[in-house]
Chains A and B, each alone.
Chain A
Amino acid sequence: MTFGAPAGATQFMALSAVLFSLGLYGALSRKNAVMVLMSLELMANAVNLNLVALSRFTDPAAMTGQYFAVFSMVVSAAEIGLGLALVLAIYRQKKTIELEAMEELKG
């Protein structure tokens, strides 16, 4: 895409793909539980952007993507709330929020 030319669905999807991949990288590599949760939010954000953009470019009158994005936001807001509560609960037990400290399953 040349700078300044109108952006289309391709550009939005590409942006969303890049943001999602960055979030995926963060979620896979960070050892800090809060960082992982933040990366998950980044991924959810990329998905929402995709939904809204594709809805706008295909059938804007129906706004289906926007409704989906609203519900998706609700779910990810609930998720981060619970996730952080869990982090706090684990912190109280283990005095750390490193993910390694949470591995107790040995098969």
Chain B
Amino acid sequence: MAETVDGIAFFLLAFASIGGAVMMLSTRNVVHAAFWLLEVMLATAGLYLLLDAEFLALVQALVYAGAVSVLVLFTIMLTLRRREDAVRPFEPGWGALALAALFGGAMLLAISRAQLPIGAMPASVPTTADFGRVLFTQWAVPFEIASLVLLVALVGAVWWSGGDRR
């Protein structure tokens, strides 16, 4: 049997994520931008829920909305000498805008031509429990490698941001 994604919920969440992204790029205050990024991440978590990816939605909320946002805010805090430095003039970057628009346009054109399943999708069977089972059996090696990557990144981050040695 086929299932569908609720159109209204999708529309609202899509609006929230695109709107958040636009606001993040248009705001002149870096701190505000960080909060708008947080909003985009939460909207994406909602989209994951619509796609029956509960675990990913949770990870998205924890990692991106939680950890990454805090990290970004801390960095902003540590690199601002005065409160006023957070506000900076808007940089339009017309060339970048044109390139990004071209890229997005070409992408949308390609998507509109592609043969993709419309509306209906196959019934979803797996649960988070299934997800976990497969993750720790079939994907166990990549998972361990991923944890190693995180460990190395952690060590590297501590090394680079560590106190003044020089």
Contacts and interface: CB of A to CB of B under 8 A. Distances in A.
A32 B30 CA distance: 9
A97 B88 CA distance: 13
Q: Give the interface residue-count category, chain A.
A: 35 or more
Interface string A69-83: 111011101111110
B59 A70 contact: yes
B121 A57 contact: yes
Given A6-B119, A22-B21, A89-B160, A66 B55 contact: yes
Interface string A5-30: 11111111111011111111110111
Which secondary structure characterizes the binding site on chain A? helix
A26 B33 CA distance: 11
B37 to A, nearest CB: 5
Interface in A65-107: 66-67, 69-71, 73-75, 77-82, 84-89, 91-92, 97
B5 to A, nearest CB: 4
B79 A6 contact: no
A61 B138 CA distance: 14
B157 interface: yes
B58 to A, nearest CB: 11
B71 A11 contact: no
Given A38-B72, A42-B37, A97 B79 contact: yes
Contacts of A79: 153
A20 B107 contact: yes
B153 A60 contact: no
A45 B18 CA distance: 12
A87 B48 CA distance: 31
A18 to B, nearest CB: 6
B1 interface: no
B75 A34 contact: yes
A74 B150 contact: yes
A58 B117 contact: yes
8 A-B pairs with least C-beta separation: A29-B93, A21-B104, A28-B96, A78-B153, A6-B4, A25-B100, A29-B96, A85-B157
Given A32-B88, A57-B121, 11 more contacts: A6-B4, A7-B4, A25-B97, A37-B72, A52-B53, A58-B117, A66-B56, A74-B147, A78-B152, A82-B157, A88-B78
Interface of A: 1, 3-15, 17-26, 28-32, 34-35, 37-39, 41-42, 45, 48-49, 52-53, 56-61, 63, 66-67, 69-71, 73-75, 77-82, 84-89, 91-92, 97
